[in-house]
Amino acid sequence: MKTQTLSLGLASVGAILCASTALAQTPVLNVLTYDSFTSEWGPGPAIEKAFEAECACDLVFTSAGDGAALLARLQLEGPRTDADVVLGLDTNLTAAARDTGLFAPHGVTADLTMPVTWDDDTFLPFDWGYLAFVANKDTAPVTSFRALADSDLKIVIEDPRSSTPGLGLLMWVHAVYGDEAPQIWADLADNIVTVTPGWTEAYNLFLAGEADAVLSYTTSPAYHLIAEDDDTKTSWAFDEGNYLQVEVAAKVANTDQPALADQFMAFIAQPGFQDVIPETNWMYPATKVSLPTGFDTLTVPSKGLLLSSQDAANVRDALVETWRTALSQ
Amino acid sequence: MRSLPAWLSAALVLALTLGTLLAVALRAEVGRGLSSGDWAAIRFTVGQAIVSALVSVALAVPVARALARRRFRWRGALVMLLGAPFILPVIVAVLGLLAVFGRGGLLNAGLAGLGVAPVSIYGAGGVVLAHVFFNLPLAVRLILQGWLSIPAERFQLAAQLNAPIWRLLERPMLARVVPGAVLVIFLICLTSFAVALTLGGGPKATTVELAIWQAVRFDFDLGRAALLSCIQFGLCAVAAVIAWRVTPVDGFGSGLDRVVARWDQSAWDWAWLLAVTLFLATPLAMVVWRGVPGLADLGPGVWAAAGRSVAVAAGSTVLCLLLGLSLALRGGIVMSIVGVLPLAASALVMGTGLFLMLFPLANPATLALPVTLCVNAVMALPFVLRVLGPAVTDIRASYGRLAETLGLRGLSLLRIVILPRLRRPLGFAAGLTAALSLGDLGVIALFATDAQETLPLAMYRLMGAYRMDAAAGAALLLLALALGVFWICDRGGRMDVDA
């Protein structure tokens, strides 16, 4: 009896040792991304499962705030970063990310389905969306910034100094109006109820009834429709087009898992990754996969606008200053 | 010997405030100096902080007075309610306020019923309103401690002599307590960021903290972040010196810890208490109202995050009380300054600096919770010292000589003389620290991975994933936990008051 217990104990110790050795031999791929990607409702868990089924590796997501925080984290860590892949920067940040010299070409050829041409060998898009004002269906829609400025509608926007959609809005107005942007902002001033630090605050103010519309994405109503069975929300397509937010991934140059990192970059463009995006990240997938029911009801703008990452970086400070001056009057 | 714990505490506070700032500055490239926009931010920041602090304290004086001289059944509950807004995450409190003062809120619904034009909460008025909502409770509690520190014997003596209480007892007490309360609230509002931006209406409401945020998060311009943080430190130092100069150091002598029986009550007391209850409780009631349906949506992840938050809060409370007690016992101007420093620190700079300091030694993600625990303890220290400092000074003034004659020193002095008389302020300080730590969403965001998610972070992630109902449930859970820990810690103090 006693010997049996002992041998059982030894066997279990042996099993644990074997298991931990096996664990130690499993290569680990570290992917640095933003918060909502890895949450239990985000795309992370499903993607982890799908990739681990084919890579014989351990995929570990580490999250750091939003897209901007991701870049700051990377700049803090520098070349010593543990990250093998970074997932979740957008085109407003990629110029600064490229300047760090931390990234290597992705080497992936994918059949991208975005309304703009994409030509970047370092940053690979994994999803995208149109920026748009989201409103209730019973609010009379407007189709341009001028019409919005002329209306009595009240809107909530995000601060471009602290949020990525807020910065996208500046790029949008700049892309459409160029040098006339200051006048547009001056005219819009009396429509803006308030400016919030981030998307979360803005969207909540809108849901609380503080404004007629909020700067968000054309895909936001899909969440309400599919997850909450609420079809009262819509978004507005503007005649001149809506600005795009393109979210990208990139491979860290001095990764200690180059082969796995390459495998993951290729996986990003495959259905195992792309199929998960619409109903977890509530964005459009970057390649041609079938969209869930409900996405067909979304507003589709006639045109997608996007500044190149270098152009966006070049004009950013001036646009913020213009915006700030116009709204401080 | 007596000073050693105090110097250790001071060293920890200095490392976390000035040390982290230095770590950021050392990584910095040459800064660009201040733009005109930065100066506008400084002017707005200081202006709104002054107004918010003065309004909060001015309203707090009559409320604290009413609480000090009235006994009624729900007094304990009201005093506890006063602790609630201060520890709510900003976005939760703002949504509660909007439910009352917003476009579709109760106030405007009432005004519309009367045919009056709606009022807008956005702009400078909204910023001050929100800051008063957050800080009035703290001001009331700090000033109430002052009232309760006046020995009952003094009131009895004044009653026998038919002497003017206000001039002899209350005004000197206020002169001692009010500058500190104004300073603390001024500093809290100085580093405010999300309130000013959300309710300020736009770029006019720019704060220094936003400029720091932008410098770190978007530009990664650590030199600029360090420069702006130094400016915040400078503003804080000036305020601290002013408050120290105008605060006369005197005590009321000792009492026998009897409860005050007051005769100078007026009907205005009830008006003030009713007004402050409505002002604070209505938005909180809206948070509860909206949160109840969401409680069912909370997944196991949120409950685990809640457990983590409680553990961190317990740890930081113990650490903070140790720090606060050692500093308060040591006393002196150096300790006052060390105790105010964390208020002027930017959470963002502190997190970034810690990251830079820890990254060469260990993976910051594994240290997320210990780091959060330490930072929360240090961040709560100014409030704890504000509560413990004057109490310790009074005890020393009253019992110091007696203890000396009896040969009571060191730990026995602490155990026999000081701790029993510190019970009430200690309970309040512990409650405040635990509740503040529960609501904190500062440093954790820079370090944490999912395995270290705390409740406020989980709530923000729910909102980011559009799950507003579940987020409202998480907010209610947070409110309940914060009030719960506050109640448990503060209980001893409240029972004293009610007796």
B210 interfacial to chain A (CB closer than 8 Å): yes
CB A35 within 8 A of CB B461: yes
pLDDT at residue B146 in the model: 82
User: What local confidence, expressed as pLDDT, does residue A272 receive?
Assistant: 92
The model's confidence at residue A98, banded by pLDDT at 50, 70 and 90, is very high
When pLDDT is cut at 50, 70 and 90, the band that residue A6 belongs to is very low
Rounded-to-integer distance, Cα B64 and Cα B269, Å? 9
Question: Residue A45 and residue B23: Cα distance in Å, rounded?
Answer: 36
pLDDT at A55 over 60: yes
Which band of pLDDT confidence, cut at 50, 70 and 90, is reported for residue A175?
A: very high
| pLDDT tens-place string over residues A104-137 | 999 898 889 999 999 899 999 999 999 999 999 9
**Residue of chain B minimizing CA distance to A281:** B465
Pick the residue from chain B with its C-alpha nearest to A60.
Answer: B449
- B32 in contact with A at a CB cutoff of 8 Å? no
* Residue B104 φ/ψ, nearest 5 degrees: -105, 20
Pick from A194, A203, A209: CB nearest B202: A194
Interface test with A, best of B197, B352, B366, B443 (most A CBs within 10 A): B197
* CA-based nearest distance B80→chain A, Å: 28
Contact A204 B199 (CB under 8 A): no
Q: Are B446 and A200 in contact (CB < 8 Å)? A: no
Q: What is the largest CA-CA distance in chain A?
A: 89
CA distance B197 to chain A (A): 6
Amino acid B493: pLDDT: 53
* Average pLDDT for A311-322: 92
> Of B271 and A142, which is predicted with more confidence?
A142
Instruction: Give the C-alpha separation, A252 to A241, whole Å.
Output: 34
Q: What pLDDT does B413 receive? A: 76
Instruction: Say yes or no to pLDDT of A229 above 60.
Output: yes
pLDDT at position A3 is 40
**Three-state secondary structure of chain B:** CCCHHHHHHHHHHHHHHHHHHHHHHHCCCCCCCCCHHHHHHHHHHHHHHHHHHHHHHHHHHHHHHHHHHCCCCCHHHHHHHCCHHHHCCHHHHHHHHHHHHCCCCHHHHHHHHCCCCCCCCCCHHHHHHHHHHHHHHHHHHHHHHHHHCCCHHHHHHHHHHCCCHHHHHHHHHHHHHHHHHHHHHHHHHHCCCHHHHHHHCCCCCCCHHHHHHHHHHCCCCHHHHHHHHHHHHHHHHHHHHHHHHHCCCCCCCCCCCCCCCCCCCCCHHHHHHHHHHHHHHHHHHHHHHHHHHHHHHCCHHHHHHHHHHHHHHHHHHHHHHHHHHHHHHHCCHHHHHHHHHHHHCCHHHHHHHHHHHHCCCCCHHHHHHHHHHHHHHHHHHHHHHHHHHHHHHHHHHHHHHHHHHHCCCHHHHHHHHHHHHCHHHHHHHHHHHHHHHHHCCCCHHHHCCHHHCCHHHHHHHHHHCCCHHHHHHHHHHHHHHHHHHHHHHHHHHHHHHHC
Does residue A24 register a pLDDT over 60?
no
Interface with B, mutate which of A32, A47, A63 (most B CBs under 10 A): A63
pLDDT band for position A15 (50/70/90)? very low
Q: What percent of chain A has pLDDT over 90?
A: 70
Contacting B residues, span 368-397, partner chain A, CB-CB under 8 Å: none
Smallest Cα distance from A66 to chain B, Å? 10
Which of A4-13, A70-79, B237-246, B389-398 has the highest mean predicted lDDT (pLDDT)?
Answer: A70-79
Phi, psi for residue A281 in degrees, rounded to 5? -95, -10
Query: Average per-residue pLDDT in chain A?
Result: 89
Q: Are B355 and B364 in contact (CB under 8 A)?
A: yes
Is residue A316 pLDDT above 70, yes or no? yes
Q: What is the pLDDT of residue B264?
A: 64
Confidence of residue A11 (pLDDT cuts 50, 70, 90): very low
Give the residue from chain B lying closest to A224, CA to CA.
B466
Residues 392-451 of B with CB under 8 A from A: 445-446, 448-450
Spatial CA neighbour of A85 closest among A61, A108, A52, A68: A61
By CA distance, what is B352's nearest residue in A? A76
CB < 8 Å to A189, chain B: 202
| Confidence at residue A14, expressed as pLDDT on a 0 to 100 scale | 46
Taking the C-alpha atoms of residue B436 and residue B432, their distance in angstroms, rounded to an integer, is: 6
Question: 10 Å Cβ neighbour count for B29?
Answer: 10
> What is the pLDDT tens value at each position of chain B, 499 positions in all?
457 888 888 888 999 888 988 888 887 665 566 777 778 888 888 999 999 999 999 999 999 888 887 777 788 788 777 777 877 878 788 888 998 998 888 888 888 888 888 888 888 888 999 999 999 988 998 888 888 777 777 777 777 777 777 777 788 888 888 888 888 888 888 888 888 888 888 888 888 888 888 888 888 888 888 888 888 888 877 877 777 676 655 555 555 555 565 666 677 888 888 898 899 889 999 889 988 998 988 888 899 999 999 999 999 999 999 999 888 887 777 777 788 788 888 888 888 888 888 888 887 777 888 888 999 999 889 888 888 887 887 787 777 777 778 777 777 777 777 777 788 888 888 888 898 888 877 676 667 666 678 888 888 888 888 888 888 899 999 988 988 888 888 775 555 444 3
> Residue B95's Cα: distance from chain center in Å?
20
Tell me how far apart the alpha carbons of residues B311 and B440 are, in angstroms, rounded to a whole number.
13
Residue B177 or residue A102, greater confidence: A102
Considering only the beta carbons, identify the residue of B91, B199, B446 that sits closest to A200.
B91
- Could you give the CA distance from residue B473 to residue B287 in angstroms, rounded to a whole number? 9
Q: Do A210 and B198 lie within an 8 Å CB cutoff?
A: no
pLDDT at A1: 39
Does A32 score more than 70 pLDDT? Answer: yes
**Average pLDDT estimate for A301-321:** 93
- Please report residues of B whose CB lies closer than 8 A to that of A162: 197, 210, 213-214, 217-218
The per-residue pLDDT for A46 is: 93
Of B200, B301, B463, the CB nearest to A204: B463
The residue ranking higher by pLDDT, A132 or A18, is A132
User: Which of A204, A233, A319 is the mutation pick for testing B, counting most B CBs within 10 A?
Assistant: A204
Whether A202 has a pLDDT exceeding 80, the answer reads yes
* Encoded tokens for A270: 């495959």
Q: In chain B, which residues have their Cβ closer than 8 Å to the Cβ of A276? A: none
| Distance of residue B477 Cα from the nearest chain A Cα, in angstroms | 18
Q: How far apart are CA A67 and CA A86, in angstroms?
A: 10
Q: What is the pTM of this model?
A: 0.85
Interchain pair A203, B194: CB under 8 A: no
Nearest to A223 among B91, B359, B466 (CB): B466
- Which phi and psi angles does B433 have, rounded to 5°? -65, -45
- Pairwise CB contact (< 8 Å): A38 & B216: no
Count other Cβ atoms within 10 Å, centred on residue B477.
22
Answer whether B320's CB lies under 8 Å from B372's CB.
no
Is the pLDDT at A69 greater than 70? The verdict is yes
